[in-house]
Amino acid sequence: DSETGEILTLVSTPTYDPQALSTKYLDPESERQRRQQVSGFFTHPQKLFFNRAISGAYPPGSVFKVLTALAGLDSGAIDAGKTVDDTGVLEVGEYSYANWYYTQYGRIDGPISLVRALARSNDIYFYKAAEWTGPQKIADMARLFGLGKLTGIELPGEAAGLVPDPAWKERELGERWYLGNTFHFGIGQDNLLVT
């Protein structure tokens, strides 16, 4: 609920039949089958009891582009009128970074500015916006919005997620941060993880 912060629904899949945990059968064969079913819940390869909604940490993808845009606007690296020419693929030396629209449909957006880039979820625009803004400013904006920290939900097992930056990558992975990391970070990929 946007007014109270109350969680109205929380879903984690795949799931299991909770009735099998709360029902006990008097018939011995039915009870044996129920126990076997419950035992299977614990050994299921998809880890049915793992609460993916609060304990699973995943790259957020394109929804993160809003934070890249905010960081760019806040830092002055971009403004509403600044355009990027989407040619389908951004070439940087021997590396190529494609836009999803080009990869899936062979189409391009051409010159595109912020509002349209958000509406189209244009990867090329956000690669460049991330480059101009810089990974530290994007990481700072993400942290300002609470990413990389626990939300404090009153359920056990919450993961904090991860907001990477160049210092984190150097410290934790022993590698320097590359422009490609910035591109992927700007579109909500790479080492960025949220619940």
Q: What string of pLDDT tens digits covers the 195 residues of the chain?
A: 989 888 999 998 888 888 888 888 888 999 999 999 999 999 999 999 999 999 999 999 999 999 999 999 999 999 999 999 999 999 999 999 999 999 999 999 999 999 999 999 999 999 999 999 999 999 999 999 999 999 989 889 999 999 999 999 999 999 999 999 999 999 999 999 999
DSSP string spanning the chain?
Answer: -TTT--------SS---THHHH---SSHHHHHHHHHHHHHHHH-TT-TT--TTTT--B--GGGGHHHHHHHHHHHTS--TT-EEEE-SEEEETTEEEE-HHHHHHS---EEEEHHHHHHHT-HHHHHHHHHHH-HHHHHHHHHHTTTTS----SSTT----B---HHHIIIIIS----HHHHHHHHTT-TT-BB-
pLDDT tens digits for range 64-106: 999 999 999 999 999 999 999 999 999 999 999 999 999 999 9
Active site residue 62: yes
Catalytic residue among 2, 30, 55, 62: 62
- Residues 12 and 155: beta-carbon distance below 8 Å: no
